[in-house]
Amino acid sequence: MKDYMDIAIELSKENFEKHYGGPFGACIVKNGKIIGKGMNQVIKENDPTAHAEIVAIRDACKELNTYDLSDCELYTSCFPCPMCLSAIIWSNIKTVYYANTKEDANDIGFRDDFIYDYIKNLSNESILKLTPMNREEAIKVFEQYKSQKDKIIY
């Protein structure tokens, strides 16, 4: 287990040196084999979703040719942000090992706390304004999907 975390930390160090994004690295393991690796690529790719955990999830999914990473473990150099936590849950990873804490990330300038606070009550319009519209039309597609016999729930 320590070896996998060492790899995640080494990826974070390599990423820091390359200036691709924040100093974050991650790897995904299944049955004792690394199946996905990721470094934060936000700056390199101009993609705010290219966090190390997301990049590792994408890499693992390609490797296994699936969207379901059940029975995989994720090793990350830092406690995952809210977006990454959601992606980890959606990918069915049940175990995450992390090195640095979210407080450590905050200490170097990564501001995840305001997102955690926003999620608690979904009401701070200075962060994000959510406005419902056209549900009458959109719900028709949901109703069709609901009655579809061969749908795949993920």
Please tell me whether residue 43 adopts helix, strand or coil conformation.
Answer: helix
Which among 10, 53, 73, 137 is annotated as catalytic? 53
Summarize pLDDT for 49-78 with one digit per residue, the tens.
Answer: 999 999 999 999 999 999 999 999 999 999
Pick the closest to residue 69 from 29, 39, 32, 99 (CA basis).
29
148: region left, alpha or beta (phi > 0 left; psi from -120 to 50 alpha): beta
Q: pLDDT band at residue 47, thresholds of 50, 70 and 90?
A: very high
Summarize pLDDT for 79-88 with one digit per residue, the tens.
Answer: 999 999 999 9
53 is catalytic: yes
More confident site: 37 or 151: 37
The answer to whether 34 and 28 have CB atoms below 8 angstroms apart is yes
Summarize pLDDT for 88-147 with one digit per residue, the tens.
Answer: 999 999 999 999 999 999 999 998 988 988 888 877 888 888 888 999 999 999 999 999
pTM of the model: 0.89
